[in-house]
């Protein structure tokens, strides 16, 4: 027996999402069949509302529902430090850690040869403009610890070097609460390289 065409179409659309496999997409499509018309409308309206309201902050590139994002618009933030990340979600990782109170700049991706993404595709003009207009004490490059993230960090460092005195990169090392047994050798060698004196 062939599966229903309209069901397959919904499954395929859900399957396009990151972290949604074929089985989950199937379950979601069936769940929608069981949902009331009102619940389906609510799902769609919430998506529509979000797409209409959320835009990139013109200053930092993070997500915002108001003119500037809640971080750029917060006067209690330390305006001496700038963390540069690839994606909006990375900002939330910093915010959830609750140890950083400076500002952010979101690049909107990484330089990627395989995906044909160059530095021109990233949100860098606004970064340079920002550094020219305001003197930051330090820029922390917090792109992902991957080859693409590293490449991007190096490019950005070169590009912004004339406008800021101190540029840093997040430390590599063991994961807190992790197990030495499970640490891959690249991370371990980085942890040895970055070891700190305690006596």
Instruction: By CB under 8 A, tell whether 143 contacts its own copies.
Output: no
DSSP state of 194: T
Smallest gap from residue 22 Cβ to its own copies (A): 12
**Opening angle at CA 23, ends 17 and 26, nearest 5:** 80
User: Which string of x and - marks every residue 84-123 that binds its own copies (by CB under 8 A)?
Assistant: ----xx--x--x----------------------------
How far is residue 111's CA from residue 154's CA, in Å, rounded to a whole number?
A: 10
What SS3 state is found at 88? helix
Smallest gap from residue 158 Cβ to its own copies (A): 28
β-bridge mates for residue 82, sequence order:
103, 139
Instruction: By CB under 8 A, tell whether 44 contacts its own copies.
Output: yes
Instruction: By CB under 8 A, tell whether 22 contacts its own copies.
Output: no
Sort 158 into a burial class: Cβ within 10 Å, 0-12 / 13-18 / 19+. Answer: exposed
| Interface ranges with its own copies (CB under 8 A) | 1-7, 9-10, 12-13, 16-20, 23-24, 26-33, 37, 39-40, 42-44, 46-51, 53-54, 63-65, 70-71, 74, 88-89, 92, 95
């Amino acid at each position: 027996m062939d599966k229903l065409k309209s069901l397959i179409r919904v499954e395929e659309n859900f399957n396009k999402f990151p972290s949604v496999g074929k089985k989950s997409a199937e379950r979601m499509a069936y769940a929608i069949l069981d949902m009331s018309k009102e619940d389906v409308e609510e799902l769609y309206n919430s998506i529509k509302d979000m797409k209409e309201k959320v835009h990139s902050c013109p200053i930092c590139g993070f997500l915002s529902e108001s003119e500037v994002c809640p971080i750029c618009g917060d006067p209690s933030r330390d305006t001496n430090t700038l963390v540069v990340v690839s994606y909006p979600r990375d900002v939330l990782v910093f915010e959830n850690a609750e140890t950083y109170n400076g500002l952010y700049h979101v690049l909107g991706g990484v330089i990627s040869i395989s995906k044909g993404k160059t530095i021109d595709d990233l949100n860098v003009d606004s970064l340079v403009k920002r550094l020219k207009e305001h003197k930051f004490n330090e820029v922390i490059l917090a792109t992902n610890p991957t080859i693409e993230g590293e490449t991007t960090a190096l490019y950005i460092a070169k590009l912004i070097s004339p406008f800021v005195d101190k540029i840093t990169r997040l430390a590599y090392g063991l994961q807190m609460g992790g197990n030495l047994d499970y640490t891959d050798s690249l991370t371990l060698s980085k942890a040895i390289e970055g070891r700190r004196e305690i006596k």
